[in-house]
Structure 1
């Protein structure tokens, strides 16, 4: 039975849907996705170096970096940073114990010995307290009340310390966006992750006039606060770095929100009987990416930014990725021009096939199956005339997240995709074995070519696989619900892009998923 036969929306529901920029037909289609979720992807094998992943030698890497420097000078580059995440997940262990009213260090130690993960996270946090970049701010805040972190910790009174850091009457870190959390210390100076992204961007997207284009996506909840901090940071680092920042800030469009359902796949409602419409995941940012009207766009998450002492290496490898894209884009455009001639010759068709197969790993039919020269030319142009991305891949060290795999395509051949674990049936032993044999991990460190050979922006939604929606289970007010996410931005959202994978050094990936990750060497001032 279809959802339309089970669900009747009231006029209040319809008004709520319209006010969100949605249509009832879209909501019914979302209900259908819950009833008939997408089939799992079928993994064939992991991508490895030499089989989908390219490893550059030092000479090749330097050559690619030089290419990017030249094109950046022409103003072609931009940085795109998804920055809507809240710091609440980062501090989840601390928040959980604070909400329980735990004030005693001894109680935390007891819980940690019993295997409580939140207590273990809090203990690690307290042991490294003075090494966190926000320690100075915390000490100054507590001093105004006649206290200090060290004495509180010495007395075992951790509740007051956590309240000062997290609470609304303290520093309020529980309700901060992750972009505004202090990430790194430089003596007297402390930088937030937002500031570090500006500094990093100045290293590889600045044009010949020193103009750096950066786009942040932000939660509407934090928008005004974010803009205020951003304006101060912009002024500070323009003076410090001798550049000018051209910054765009956007929010996830409410029209990309999705309906939540209960465990019976019926609309989930809040305590006032209203439909619950939730943000549709990072795949919804495809619309924001489209609206940048960018040319060459670097994408990197807000929490993946190391300490400035690694800046030279980070900038170099960003340039390498950009150079790989620019060089390949030039080759594609040249071949596309040859294929567009009134009478494409066999040599041009052969060049296009080699480019598609050897560089883009596209599973082409045989030359004979492509038909006449005109037919072959049209089909090859269809495969080549797409958005292009070069994605950095790092060695798999067990970090949570997705990775590069060859997956079975509808036609039965294999195609290269970036896959999340939720898209795979890991209860099947064969699929689980392939997943666990993955050698590389997706750090979300990529550069995208968003324009066609004539310089016109692609319509990115045409190159997404709309079937790769994600269904997850969440809780709201203590009640279980199912949430629907759009195809992941770098997963199904870019499934029909042309994709190249390049190995990056592991040191370029320094994510901060929990506050204690800031204690790792990649986020500390020195050894």
Structure 2
């Protein structure tokens, strides 16, 4: 590949080398690699169902152990609210109250979310604020027809002379209206964290944000800090990071040549959420909870959710303790055949790891156990989108638990498609991780990424088609070589806000 001096300078400014860019281009030529799912992970076959007595035991174990560990909550929060308000943007552009009624428009569109929005608009956390602003901006607002008011109200929610909500990061959109205040998703994450990650009176959180948004989050924290700390009795240590430019990936045209902008520059795109493995790798803490910014509940449901977080943490502590014991035995150099068999059985029964053919040696077991560990909550599939838990065979014949997206499955293969349909649970991104080994040293998380799980997608730029490369997903290929445990958690713990109408669900209406 011949790069000009200008190209090389642009590549180096990203923190990349020409060799790395050439390797990315080779991935485009290779195409997406489908995974080999051997069976869906189900209850008893990869997913544990924990009964109430064991749940209480794990919560108690977590509470007794957590003060001996450094714990942090990691929240990917770089997403903008634009998609959340997409239907409202369409409405603002299309609806003309002089030509049709609101009812006619809604009947024509047949969009359930939009109908729900207008049927229950008064229950939105920002309704009163939007109405006040609409009255301020339109002196005749109260005298307008019902349909004209709704058009203005939607524009007030969206546009810069109103609330401009769709321009905010999703984490700073008002989510919940209480008697005394309105809370954003950012605030709800803090209040939730105070229920289960506090060590020595401090809760540590880390938000990954888009450049330009850090100051907005800091400004919000300044506004709410006194209220949140007084309510929780907890001090908060909040840090932020951006997606590193060196995780950006080159785009190519349909001939696999570097895509160039109208200015003839190389075009790089963010490498998807999988690039956040770099942010995770920079953390100093040992135990890290991962949860998306839009998955929060109201305060009256917090204890219920927090108990399941503690349950997952208790499970992680228990398994981590056993793994550390085994590693110390294996490193002693004096391991009986019975002990090797015991450890091998542990891999099969607890971690569902089935190795390729070969002798079970101390080195083999040590290599498998000396990896980052994650315990992932899995929700019974009731129609919500999300990746699924599967047992997957790698190219060396080893089988392990993996979280797989639909795009990674070879649906043209009848057998693989049938196995995919047998999935009973999905991934709500409810994960607790152990990032340090038995000696207290941090793992280099890059060593445990399966680069072959990168994903190629068709996009456009300046009206021209291009192919974009997304790095292996954070909890898919980004954690493919981690040791993994799946535990069933109730659907009530999963309350994402994908569209503005989701804020009208019961789980987002304070009781």
Q: Compute the TM-score of the two structures, normalised by the length of structure 2.
A: 0.95
Summarize the alignment of residues 224-235 of structure 1 with structure 2, pairs less than 5 Å apart: 224-235=215-226
Summarize the alignment of residues 366-445 of structure 1 with structure 2, pairs less than 5 Å apart: 369-370=358-359, 376-445=361-430
Aligned to 2:63: 69
Give the counterpart of 1:221 among 212, 236, 261: 212
* Aligned equivalents of 1:267, 1:420: Cα separation in 2: 27
Alpha carbons of 1:231 and 1:72: their partners in 2 closer, same or farther (altered >3 Å)? farther
Aligned to 1:317: 308
* Aligned equivalents of 1:265, 1:86: Cα separation in 2: 30
* Aligned equivalents of 2:98, 2:183: Cα separation in 1: 31
* Aligned equivalents of 1:24, 1:415: Cα separation in 2: 34
Give CA deviations for 1:62-105 in whole Å, capped at 9, x if unaligned: 11111111222335211000000010011111123334575569
Is this contact kept in 1: 2:121–2:127, CA < 8 A?
Answer: yes
Aligned to 2:123: 131
Summarize the alignment of residues 86-105 of structure 1 with structure 2, pairs less than 5 Å apart: 86-100=80-94, 102=96
Is this contact kept in 1: 2:69–2:286, CA < 8 A?
Answer: no
Deviates most, 154-163 or 234-243: 154-163
Alpha carbons of 1:147 and 1:78: their partners in 2 closer, same or farther (altered >3 Å)? farther
Number of aligned pairs?
511
Aligned to 1:55: 49
Give the counterpart of 2:456 among 447, 451, 471: 471
Alpha carbons of 1:389 and 1:475: their partners in 2 closer, same or farther (altered >3 Å)? same
Aligned to 2:237: 246
Give CA deviations for 1:235-281 in whole Å, capped at 9, x if unaligned: 43112211110111001011101112233332222332222211111
Correspondence 1:480 to 2:472 = no
Secondary structure of residue in 1 paired with 2:452: coil
Give the counterpart of 1:29 among 2, 7, 23: 23
Give the counterpart of 1:263 among 222, 238, 254: 254
Secondary structure of residue in 2 paired with 1:203: coil
Aligned to 2:195: 203
Q: CA deviation at 1:14?
A: 1.9
Q: CA deviation at 1:171?
A: 0.9
Secondary structure of residue in 2 paired with 1:73: helix
Give the counterpart of 1:306 among 292, 297, 301: 297
Summarize the alignment of residues 334-345 of structure 1 with structure 2, pairs less than 5 Å apart: 334-345=325-336
Q: CA deviation at 1:437?
A: 2.3
* Aligned equivalents of 1:71, 1:102: Cα separation in 2: 61
Give CA deviations for 1:12-34 in whole Å, capped at 9, x if unaligned: 22222111111111111111111
* Aligned equivalents of 1:343, 1:58: Cα separation in 2: 40
Give CA deviations for 1:204-263 in whole Å, capped at 9, x if unaligned: 0001x2100110000113222222213333343112211110111001011101112233
Give CA deviations for 1:172-193 in whole Å, capped at 9, x if unaligned: 1121100000111112311000
* Aligned equivalents of 1:151, 1:394: Cα separation in 2: 49
* Aligned equivalents of 1:127, 1:477: Cα separation in 2: 39
* Aligned equivalents of 1:140, 1:481: Cα separation in 2: 45
Alpha carbons of 1:32 and 1:142: their partners in 2 closer, same or farther (altered >3 Å)? same
Aligned to 2:12: 18
Is this contact kept in 2: 1:105–1:157, CA < 8 A?
Answer: no
Is this contact kept in 2: 1:139–1:149, CA < 8 A?
Answer: no
Q: CA deviation at 1:339?
A: 1.2
Query: 5+ unaligned residues in a row in structure 2: which ranges?
Result: none
Deviates most, 58-67 or 8-17: 8-17
* Aligned equivalents of 2:142, 2:35: Cα separation in 1: 52
Alpha carbons of 1:410 and 1:75: their partners in 2 closer, same or farther (altered >3 Å)? closer
Give CA deviations for 1:322-381 in whole Å, capped at 9, x if unaligned: 000001000111111111113222232122112111111110367xx426xxxx111111
Aligned to 2:132: 140
Is this contact kept in 2: 1:103–1:158, CA < 8 A?
Answer: no
Aligned to 2:282: 291
Deviates most, 315-324 or 223-232: 223-232
* Aligned equivalents of 2:47, 2:37: Cα separation in 1: 16
Q: Compute the TM-score of the two structures, normalised by the length of structure 1.
A: 0.92
Aligned to 2:178: 186
Alpha carbons of 1:148 and 1:414: their partners in 2 closer, same or farther (altered >3 Å)? farther
Q: CA deviation at 1:446?
A: 0.7
Summarize the alignment of residues 357-372 of structure 1 with structure 2, pairs less than 5 Å apart: 357-364=348-355, 369-370=358-359
* Aligned equivalents of 1:148, 1:448: Cα separation in 2: 56
Q: CA deviation at 1:38?
A: 3.2
Correspondence 1:9 to 2:3 = yes
Correspondence 1:281 to 2:281 = no
Alpha carbons of 1:268 and 1:440: their partners in 2 closer, same or farther (altered >3 Å)? same
